[in-house]
Every structure is written in C-alpha cells, then in structure tokens.
Amino acid sequence: MTFACLIEFRKKICESDKIANFALFLLDGNSADFAYEGLETVPAKRSMANEMTRSALVLLCGYFEGYLKKIIEEFVETFNSLDLPLKGTEDLLLLSIFQKSITENREKSLPKALQIKKCLIEDICFPLTTEAIGKTNGNPTVDTVDNLFQRIGIPEIIDTLSIQDHGIDSTYITVNQSQKFQRQIEQATGSDVLSSQKIIEFIDSQWTPTKKRREVGYVGIIQELLKKRNRIAHGENWDEQVTPQELINFNSNILKLCEGISLNLEKKIHDYQ
C-alpha cells in the first residue's frame, strides 16, 4: 500500500524544488522580465531569489507538519478497517488507547473502561482514534515526531531512520553524571589526578548515565530547518539567507524522512494483517 498523503507530499516537494531552481535561474543573472518587473539589477534579483527560498522553507515546515497529521489519520483509518480484536493490539499502541480512554475523571472514564472490558471479553475491535496517537501541536520537532510514532508502536523512529539513511551509529551519546561536575572536581582537588579519578568513579557508580541527542542525521536536519523557519516566520532576522541549494537539500532530506516514516507504517499495517 502507499499512503495518499505521501503522493501529495511528493508533489509539494516538487513545487518547492521548482521555486529553488527558479531562484537559481535569477542568481545566474538570467532575465525574468517576463515574470516580474523590477528585476533589472543583480541586487534586486538576489533579494527576490532569497525571498522565494525563504517563503518556500516556511511552507516546507507546514507541509511536513501536515504530512504527519495526514499519515496518522490514514494509518488510523486503515487500522480500523482491519477490524482487529483489541487483545491483538501491540503493547505500545494498546497503552495509547488506554491512556486516551482512562483519565483522572472517573465519571468520564467509566463508559470507555466498560467498552474496553467488553472488547476484551468478546474478542472484538475497539476503534482507534487519532486523539490516542496525539497531535503535532505546532512545529514538528524531533521529540514530537518520536512521540507520535512511539504511541503507534514504532519507538525512536528518528534514530532508526538516521542510522539507516545517514550512516551513523546513533543520534545519541551517553553522558556520565560526573561530566557535569568536571571543572568543580578539578578545582576541589587542586587538579590532583588520583583524587579526581576517585571522586569521578564514585559519582558514576551512584548515578546511571543519561542519553543526550546529537545534532546528526535527521536530528540535525530537523533542528536546523526549524531554527531557520522560526527566525524567518517570527521576524528575528530579516536578512536570514536561504540559498537555493539549501532549500533543495532540505526538500530532499525531509522527503526521504517522510518516505521512511511511510514505509515503517506500511510494515506495521502489514504485520497486523
């Protein structure tokens, strides 16, 4: 199967690439008098080219967010069409259903709880909703994308696709707790290596290391895209530059990411069939 929103998204990327190529056309000194008056000078052409690519980059973020919403809607519709018994739902997706249905309000939760009970006893389907998966709530950040597909049953999709498409081992690094206090430890011990090492070993033995994101793979791409988008959209930098090649690269990378997301969801549907 192919999600309809992916076909639509590819068309949007094609349109954005055309904008980038026309911007390149202007920057190469070609005449665009047939399209717009006032582009006789090189500075005017540069300014127009940058305005075109800046606008397209903001649109790209909107298309990306829209794609995430639409593919979740299509997934939910396809999943429900399978009419699967609730007990056959994978753990992470089942948890999403429970969390959406059971709230702190006992009065509101009771009907849903009884419906879930009936589905389990009678071995029938409990309809999945997009609300159980969640929303983008604005810009599609790395954590937002990860959380959405975690609820469907695909954990750390950004890390998985970054490893697959960008030839890296992980988008995470492990940070020992002692690293946060390295300078203080050295000051307290007078930079005595042996004493510092003993303190470091003690700290690390007491606390579990934490995972920290690296700006590599799709993590770096999404974060840089959103930084540029925010500076443009919120007027933080009126002179923000987006070269045609930058736009083309963002288009290509976000499209590849969306295709990877689609393939993962297609596989998830196939596994349920």
Q: What are the pLDDT digits (tens) for 226-262?
A: 999 999 988 877 778 899 999 999 999 999 999 999 9
Same domain, 36 and 50: yes
Are 157 and 222 in the same domain? yes
pLDDT for residue 80: 92
Q: Classify residue 121: in a domain, yes or no.
A: no
Q: Write the pLDDT tens digit of every residue in 5-35.
A: 999 999 999 999 999 999 998 888 665 554 5
Q: What is the pLDDT of residue 39?
A: 63
In a domain, 250, yes or no: yes
Shared domain for 155 and 257, answered yes or no, is yes
* DSSP β-ladder status, 210-213 and 172-175: antiparallel
Q: Do residue 49 and residue 10 come from a single domain?
A: yes
Residue 31 located in a structural domain: yes
262 shares a domain with 160: yes
Residue 155 sits in the same domain as residue 219: yes
Q: Is 200 within the bounds of a domain?
A: yes
Q: How far apart are CA 15 and CA 20, in angstroms?
A: 9
Phi, psi of 174 (to 5 degrees): -95, 130
pLDDT tens readout for residues 124-169: 999 999 998 988 887 899 999 999 999 999 999 999 999 999 999 8
Tell me which DSSP letter residue 28 carries.
Answer: T
pLDDT of residue 32: 54
Domains identified in the chain, total number: 2
Q: Give the residue, 245 or 174, on which the prediction is more confident.
A: 245
pLDDT at 37: 61
Query: What's the average model confidence in pLDDT over 184-204?
Result: 74
Q: How confident is the model at residue 40 (pLDDT cuts 50, 70, 90)?
A: low
In terms of domains, do 153 and 66 share one?
yes
Residues 78, 146 within the same domain: yes
pLDDT of 185 reads: 75
Instruction: Please tell me whether residues 31 and 17 are part of one structural domain.
Output: yes
Of 3, 67, 69, 12, residue with least CA distance to 262: 3
The answer on pLDDT for 179 being more than 90 is no
Structure tokens at 254: 């976000």
Q: Mark whether 148 and 265 lie in a shared domain.
A: yes
| Tokens found for residue 199 | 């303190």
Report yes or no on 105 lying in a domain.
no
Domain carrying residue 249: 4-82+139-165+215-272
Q: Which residue has the higher pLDDT, 2 or 255?
A: 255
Q: φ, ψ for residue 211 (rounded to 5)?
A: -100, 135
Q: What digits encode the pLDDT tens for the residues 108-123?
A: 889 888 999 999 999 9
Domain check: are 77 and 185 in the same one?
A: no
**Statement to judge: residues 146 and 34 lie in one domain:** yes
- More confident position, 41 or 106: 106
